Amino acid sequence: MPAEPPTPPAVVEDDPGGRTARQIVGVALVIGLLPVLYLFDTPHDFFDLKIYMSAMRWWAEGHPLYDYAQADVVQGELYFTYPPFTALLLRPFAELRLGLTVTIFTVLSLLALLVTTWWLVKPLAERHRLPRWFALGVAVPLVLALESTRETLAFGQINMLLVTLTLADLLFAVPRRSRWSGVGVGLATALKLYPGIFIVYLLAARRWRAALTASATAAGATLLAAAIAPRDSWRFWTHELWLTERVGRTDYTGNQSLFGLLSRFTTPGKPNQLLWLLLVLVIAGYGLWRAAQAARAGDDLAGLTLTGLVGTLVSPITWTHHAYWFVPALVVLVDTLLRPPGTECGGGGRRRRVALLVLAVLLAVAMVYGVVSFYDWGKAFARTDTPGEFLLRNLYVLFALLLLVVLPTRNGSGRPRTDVVAPKREPRIG
């Protein structure tokens, strides 16, 4: 009797154990990058937070809030530049020990980072059937590695609070038709003026009720501050608001705005104001038009991202710790690349997918290395006079301009992915 031929091995469609191991290794490698970056980054020792607290103590002693000034070796004198409403919220912290205040601000920033990153990657993980722990395990260390995050934590800035208010309000926590839609953006605008660009976005997207609510909230918070601190409020809105030199030198490389780019050509003189205003109108008009188009196509995340990038470009001063909106831009790029080729919003043809992949990698690398963390640009006024220096000193500005043009809009991005059919399993016998 002839021997039976050996039974061929079953076809294994996937290797869950090996895939999990690779995912763990990937997360470990990303986490391992963090100590290197934070150890060798420029230490700031919560410099901005200390200015806030010193200004609050100065104010509590009966001095005019906006008279406070602190010397800085690079920027000259630095002042308290936030609106009076922010000062009212910061004032109680002046009664605490500085170490406790630093701890509170750091913990709140880290919690805000975890929450917002979870909001961003959870839909992506569900759409592409990725383990949630893996998506979060890669995303959180990468966001922590970005220069904007490092600078936010090291300076003791409040940027993550503003980001959380904006994302919660317009995308993740408040229903679109809720009467509360717009409150978060309004509060963020009253705290620090640049989130006001999202009120303009609401108008461009024809979300009239949310825009009105945001405007009313910002106005209400501002009037509340004016009732409590009338003299400081009058001084801020009529005088201090228009003095950009109170915030710092506009030509400094850390200012990654369009005005900063122009200032680096003309320093120590000021750039042509008319030229800057014309460029602002063109860029804001185009960027908000694209943002509104994305919102109408159902891609609210792309709409908010484009709006945030517009805000960084048109603001006279955009420090590196303001550059958060490259984070959701990376999420949009990764989501587009993970979609199957040839499907709607799947990255288009091969060349376009390769281009988007290169853009995502270059953007991530640039944001991790940054523009001020590992290079001392000096204290003197220095004009940008070579192509290489122009590229390095304006890296975020150039990426923001590029993304305004090429960031994909994903139709139906809020729905889980349904174009993948799960493989059929043969019934087990015995």
Place of tokens 């300076």: 155
Nearest to 89, CA basis, from 221, 182, 196, 178: 221
Residue 388: its pLDDT value, please?
Answer: 87
Taking residues 122-141, what's their average pLDDT?
A: 87
Largest CA distance in the chain: 106
Taking residues 62-76, what's their average pLDDT?
A: 82
Residue with the larger pLDDT of the pair 289 and 244: 289
Backbone angles phi, psi at 70, to 5 degrees: -135, 135
Pairing of β 76-79 and β 69-72: antiparallel
Residue with the larger pLDDT of the pair 11 and 417: 11
Residue 129: its pLDDT value, please?
Answer: 86
Cβ-based neighbours of 426, under 8 Å, separated by 6 or more: none
Taking residues 74-80, what's their average pLDDT?
A: 77
Residue with the larger pLDDT of the pair 256 and 11: 256
What is the number of other CB atoms lying within 10 angstroms of the CB of residue 214?
30
Q: Where are the domains of the chain?
A: 42-406
Residue 33: its pLDDT value, please?
Answer: 63
SS3 319: strand
For the cut 70, the answer to whether the pLDDT of residue 405 exceeds it is yes
Q: How far apart are CA 215 and CA 238, in angstroms?
A: 19
Residue 55, both tokens: 């200004």
Residue 394: its pLDDT value, please?
Answer: 95
Nearest to 193, CA basis, from 315, 43, 370, 328: 315
Map 44-77 to HEC letters.
CCCHHHHHHHHHHHHHHCCCCHHHCEEEECCCEE
Q: Return the percentage of the chain with pLDDT > 90, whole number.
A: 59
Taking residues 104-133, what's their average pLDDT?
A: 92
Q: How far apart are CA 196 and CA 96, in angstroms?
A: 31
Q: What is the pLDDT of residues 167-199, one digit of tens each?
A: 999 998 888 788 899 999 999 999 999 999 999
Q: What is the pLDDT of residues 154-170, one digit of tens each?
A: 999 999 999 999 999 99
Q: For 190, which DSSP code?
A: H
Cβ-based neighbours of 115, under 8 Å, separated by 6 or more: 164
For the cut 50, the answer to whether the pLDDT of residue 423 exceeds it is no
CB-based contacts of 406-409 (< 8 A; 24+ apart in sequence): 406/355, 406/356, 406/359, 407/290, 407/302, 407/305, 407/306, 407/329, 407/332, 407/333, 408/302, 408/332, 408/333, 408/336, 408/345, 408/347, 408/356, 409/290, 409/293, 409/294, 409/297, 409/299, 409/302, 409/345
Distances (CA, A) of 4 to 10, 77, 105, 345: 17, 89, 72, 51
Nearest to 48, CA basis, from 251, 248, 240, 185: 248
b (16+ CB within 10 A) / e for 140-169: bbbbbbbbbbbbbbbbbbbbbbbbbbbbbb
Place of tokens 């709140």: 108
Residue 291: its pLDDT value, please?
Answer: 97
SS3 79: strand
Distances (CA, A) of 165 to 30, 68, 111, 161, 221: 28, 28, 13, 6, 15
Cβ-based neighbours of 44, under 8 Å, separated by 6 or more: 151, 154, 155
Residue 381: its pLDDT value, please?
Answer: 78
Residue 168, both tokens: 């919660």
Taking residues 291-299, what's their average pLDDT?
A: 94
Q: What is the pLDDT of residues 354-403, one digit of tens each?
A: 999 999 999 999 999 999 888 777 777 788 888 889 999 999 999 999 99
This prediction's pTM: 0.86
Residue 68, both tokens: 């406070």
